[in-house]
Amino acid sequence: MPQVSMTVNGKSATGEVEGRTLLSTFLRENLNLTGTHIGCDTSQCGACTVHVDGKQVKSCTMLALEAEGAEIATIEGQAAEDGTLNAIQQAFQDHHGLQCGFCTPGMVMAAASLLKENPKPSEAEVRHHLEGNLCRCTGYHNIVKAIMAASGQDVSAIAAE
Amino acid sequence: MYEFEFVRPGSVAEAIKALGEDEAQPLSGGQTLIPTLKQRLAMPSKLVSLTGIAEMQGITASGDGVSVGGATCHADVAADGTIPALSALAGGIGDPAVRNRGTIGGSLANNDPAACYPAAALGLGATIKTNKREIAADDYFVGLFETALDEGEIVTAVTFPKPEAANYQKFEQPASRFALVGVFVAKTGGGVRVAVTGASEGGVFRWSAAEEALAKDFSASALDGMAPDADGMMSDLHGTAAYRAHLVGVLTRRAVAAC
């Protein structure tokens, strides 16, 4: 079987995969990084969102072998070594940006990618950016609020619906 | 997915050689092909990735237009801005993750009847460059998921001439973000072009009646009451043929007004 090598959350990772092995499968089954969730497996829900060379992609819609040599960031690499949550994760907790939590890894990775490009997004820009991330329980309001708060903006005027 | 062999060549020549084998298929951004493979609707013996080919990447602007490498992703075209209407169209495809993987060459080779890029290529009168020839957009789109490309021929670049003014209006199918109807209007030195995607059973097409009316009077009111014939329009649970035909008129008027 072919070998694939990449850097995942700053550590080098190598494994044997099939041609058809998805990046999400490699992360979850070879590396045991099960924080990357498989929600729909049809490329629609975004729960499997990771960063490949700094860009958000759906890891269930990319072959592991396509990531040869790439820098991958997953949800496991977002908090500090001692477990301290990063600003986005903390804001999701503070603003009740999750209920069941299944979509949350993808939401956090999508939010990180948005705030890197656009540090102070408007509410409409946040909503537009989340078009590829589905949540079936929060109704999005608190997710949007958490991301706005993580960007350092005052969210007291945004209603918690 | 069925099993397949995966290769990632570094040049167009190597890719073409790898594609010469039976049941080999090119893989660009994979945002359509990978979901298709997951459903076992295709069974290639080998996938030839086009994303490791440096000569197919990137955007080159010149005085009279822009050339986009076949394996350039939508996000890069969206960020470019040489032709604002083209960049706006690319920035509206799918969602951010899809735009970071999906490529212009993949979209044009697939020729989905509801894809956005075919409307830009036909509307701007682009030239599709392949590993063996150059094809004018007017000769390229043949039908539903059908193009002038031969087996094993790949889109290496797409050249768009700069229009005097252009605009793309898309009525989104809200679940998929594909165009329920999309209309690209361009005012060029050679005349007015109106390309419509998402509507016809034959894929992207030029609405010539609108082009003629706009050539005489480039204003939204020149199209008052006009819509293409509903015969041959797609009809599905998202909209009837008559609804789509009506939308073509509405979106064309909006595009002209926004030019």
CATH 3.40.30.10 correct for B165-258: no
Which residue pairs, CB below 8 angstroms and at least 24 apart, start in B10-18?
B10/B52, B10/B53, B10/B54, B11/B53, B11/B55, B12/B53, B12/B55, B12/B56, B12/B131, B12/B154, B12/B156, B15/B48, B15/B50, B15/B53, B15/B131, B15/B154, B16/B131, B16/B152, B16/B154, B18/B46, B18/B48
CB contact under 8 A, A129 and B4: no
Determine what percent of chain A is predicted with pLDDT higher than 70. 98
Q: What is the pLDDT of residue B19?
A: 96
Locate B18 and state its tokens. Answer: 């790898």
Question: Which of B5, B6, B35 lies closest to A42 in CB terms?
Answer: B35
Q: What is the pLDDT of residue A159?
A: 63
**How does DSSP classify residue B27?**
E
Q: What is the pLDDT of residue A156?
A: 85
Chain A residue with Cα closest to B5: A19
Q: What is the pLDDT of residue B21?
A: 83
Average per-residue pLDDT for chain A: 95
What residue type is B19 in one-letter code? L
d(CA A143, CA A141): 5
Q: What is the pLDDT of residue B62?
A: 87
Q: What is the pLDDT of residues B115-130, one digit of tens each?
A: 999 999 999 999 999 9
Q: What is the pLDDT of residues B24-64, one digit of tens each?
A: 999 999 999 999 999 999 999 999 999 999 999 999 998 89
CB contact under 8 A, B3 and A63: no
Q: Which is it for strands B165-172 and B155-161: parallel, antiparallel or unpaired?
A: unpaired
Q: What is the pLDDT of residues A125-148, one digit of tens each?
A: 999 999 999 999 888 999 999 999
Angle at B67 between CA B62 and CA B193, to 5 degrees: 95
Q: Does A68 touch chain B (CB under 8 A)?
A: yes
**Domain segments of chain A as ranges:** 3-77, 87-150
Q: What is the pLDDT of residue B22?
A: 77
- Provide the pLDDT confidence category of residue A158 given band limits of 50, 70 and 90: confident
Q: Does B79 touch chain A (CB under 8 A)?
A: no
Q: Does A38 touch chain B (CB under 8 A)?
A: no
Determine which of B98, B170, B173 to mutate to test the interface with A (most A C-beta atoms within 10 Å).
Answer: B98
d(CA B127, CA B121): 8
CB contact under 8 A, B97 and A129: no
Which helix (DSSP H) or strand (DSSP E) does residue B139 occupy?
helix B137-140
Instruction: Give the pLDDT mean for A39-58.
Output: 95
**Which residue, B30, B26, B33, is CA-closest to B12?**
B26
- CB-based contact B124:B86 (threshold 8 Å): yes
Instruction: Give the pLDDT mean for B198-221.
Output: 97
Contacts of B96 in chain A (CB under 8 A): 56, 110, 113-114, 129, 131-132
pLDDT at A121 over 90: yes
Spatial strand order in the sheet of B205-206: B165-172, B179-188, B191-197, B205-206
Q: Does A110 touch chain B (CB under 8 A)?
A: yes
Locate B117 and state its tokens. Answer: 């890029």
Domain A3-77 CATH class label: alpha beta
d(CA B146, CA B206): 16
Q: What is the largest CA-CA distance in chain A?
A: 55
Non-local CB neighbours of A61 within 8 Å, separated by 6+ positions: A22, A43, B30, B31, B34, B35, B97, B101
Contacts of B100 in chain A (CB under 8 A): 52, 55-57
Chain A residue with Cα closest to B36: A42
A3-77 and A87-150 agree in CATH topology: no
Contacts of A61 in chain B (CB under 8 A): 30-31, 34-35, 97, 101
CATH 3.30.43.10 correct for B5-49: yes
- Provide the pLDDT confidence category of residue B72 given band limits of 50, 70 and 90: very high
CB contact under 8 A, B96 and A132: yes
**Domain segments of chain B as ranges:** 5-49, 57-161, 165-258
Q: What is the CATH number of domain A87-150?
A: 1.10.150.120
CB contact under 8 A, A43 and B34: yes
**Which residue, A93, A102, A99, A106, is CA-closest to A145?**
A93
Q: What is the pLDDT of residue A138?
A: 83
Q: What is the pLDDT of residues B162-179, one digit of tens each?
A: 999 999 999 998 878 899
Instruction: Give the pLDDT mean for B72-90.
Output: 97
pLDDT at B180 over 80: yes
**Smallest CA–CA separation between A95 and chain B, in Å?**
24
CATH 3.40.50.2300 correct for B57-161: no
- Provide the pLDDT confidence category of residue A160 given band limits of 50, 70 and 90: low
Q: What is the pLDDT of residues A70-104, one digit of tens each?
A: 999 999 999 999 999 999 999 999 999 999 999 99
d(CA B89, CA B170): 9
- Encode burial over B116-149: b for 16+ CB neighbours within 10 A, e otherwise: bbbbbbbbbbbbbbbbeeebebeebbeeeeebeb
Full DSSP string of chain A: --EEEEEETTEEEEEE--TT-BHHHIIIIIS--TTS--S-SSS-S-TTEEEETTEEEEGGGSBGGGGTT-EEE-GGGTS-TT----HHHHHHHHTT--SS-SSHHHHHHHHHHHHHH-SS--HHHHHHHGGG---SSS-SHHHHHHHHHHTT---TTS---
ipTM above 0.90? yes
Question: Which of B3, B98, B177 lies closest to A19 in CB terms?
Answer: B3
**Smallest CA–CA separation between A62 and chain B, in Å?**
7
Contacts of B98 in chain A (CB under 8 A): 43, 58, 132
CB contact under 8 A, A66 and B49: yes
Q: Is the dihedral of CA A112, A114, A119, A124 positive or negative?
A: negative
pLDDT at A161 over 80: no
**How does DSSP classify residue B219?**
S
pLDDT at B153 over 90: yes
CB contact under 8 A, A42 and B47: no
pLDDT at A157 over 90: no
Instruction: Give the pLDDT mean for A37-64.
Output: 96
